[in-house]
Structure 1
Amino acid sequence: MARSTAVGLSAAEVTFIWFLRIISAYCLFFGILYWIRLIGFYDAPLWRFDRMPVYWQVASVMLAVFYPFAAIGLWMLASWGPVIWFICATAEIIMYAGFPELFGYRFTIVVAHACVALLYVAFRLVIFLQKRQAERQG
């Protein structure tokens, strides 16, 4: 904790950094899962690019590329990291909640993305309010 106070970060900001890094690992994991699907490492029907329907090909390729980029951006704390994650999350929510007859209905993925988005907004709000309060006091 002494290190965070030395550079002027609040506890919320340090926790937010760790939150982003955990989500980064989560994105890398999902990216690897999509690559496994694309290369056909897992032996199941439709789990290889040339056997997938076109809608799965498009979704898998897009997410296999975007998830690792989101992971890099989140880990580096770059401003574009959450944006790329949001694109991935939106795509999966649309896939699994909007078109369950094509992609299947994966309630846990939809809820996980919603929870991460809510936590992100809550962190940003708390950090904003803390900075605003510090400016008024300082």
Structure 2
Amino acid sequence: MVSDSPNMPRPTLTDTLFMLFLRLMAVVCLWFALRYWAMLTGFSFGGGGRFDLLPPAWKAAATALAVMFPVAGVGLWLLAPWGAVVWVLAAATEIAMHEFYPSIFGINRLLVLTHIAVAIVYLLFQVALVFQRRKQARQVRTDLP
């Protein structure tokens, strides 16, 4: 008897951990988005970070990040490849803000190091998944005629 549905391989531990990692990144991205929106609308920093009170560089950066982070969070939660791309753009923007323009945006080494550490973990997961898929492709397949 032939099954109508294709046989889907069970997710491995690496797949499951990577999915949990992406979902955790999604939650963090949404937290960053809420932080930027709270700043821009005056709910944080005692209203001192309201959009109309910010210098032009902060207006551009905070507005872009307030849009990029929720988009990245949704993409990461859905496990879509574009979610990671948008997250990389948002993280690179924050790294550039604090590393290349510290006189405008201030120095935030912890944020920069955290973005770099998360990017390294993401790359390590990608390498592990590539090796895992290569190993699975080499295994003898019993479903072939």
TM-score bucket of the superposed structures, by smaller chain: over 0.9
Corresponding position of 2:41? 39
Taking only aligned residues, the RMSD between alpha carbons, in angstroms, comes to 1.3
Corresponding position of 2:101? 99
**More helix, by proportion:** 1
Q: Is the 8 A contact 2:39 2:47 kept in 1?
A: no
Secondary structure of the residue that 2:111 maps to in structure 1? helix
Corresponding position of 1:3? none
The CA distance in 1 between the partners of 2:87 and 2:78, in whole Å, is 13
2:124 matches 1:126: no
The CA distance in 1 between the partners of 2:91 and 2:52, in whole Å, is 25
Secondary structure of the residue that 1:62 maps to in structure 2? helix
Corresponding position of 1:65? 67
- Give, as a single letter, the amino acid of the residue that structure 1 aligns with 2:36: Y
Corresponding position of 1:77? 79
Q: Is the 8 A contact 2:39 2:45 kept in 1?
A: no
TM-score normalised to the size of structure 1? 0.92
Task: Name the % identity.
Answer: 37
- Give, as a single letter, the amino acid of the residue that structure 2 aligns with 1:113: H
1:65, distance to aligned residue in structure 2 (A): 0.6
- Higher mean alpha-carbon deviation, 78-87 vs 42-51, is at 42-51
Runs of 4+ in 1 over 3 A off after TM superposition: 43-46
Q: Which runs of 5+ in 2 are unaligned?
A: 1-7, 141-145
- Give, as a single letter, the amino acid of the residue that structure 1 aligns with 2:44: Y
TM-score normalised to the size of structure 2? 0.88
- Give, as a single letter, the amino acid of the residue that structure 2 aligns with 1:97: E
How many residues were matched structurally?
133
Q: Select the residue among 16, 23, 26 that pairs with 1:24.
A: 26
Corresponding position of 2:3? none
The CA distance in 1 between the partners of 2:130 and 2:31, in whole Å, is 30
The CA distance in 2 between the partners of 1:45 and 1:72, in whole Å, is 28
1:44, distance to aligned residue in structure 2 (A): 3.7
The CA distance in 2 between the partners of 1:127 and 1:43, in whole Å, is 42
1:42, distance to aligned residue in structure 2 (A): 1.9
Q: Which runs of 5+ in 1 are unaligned?
A: 1-5
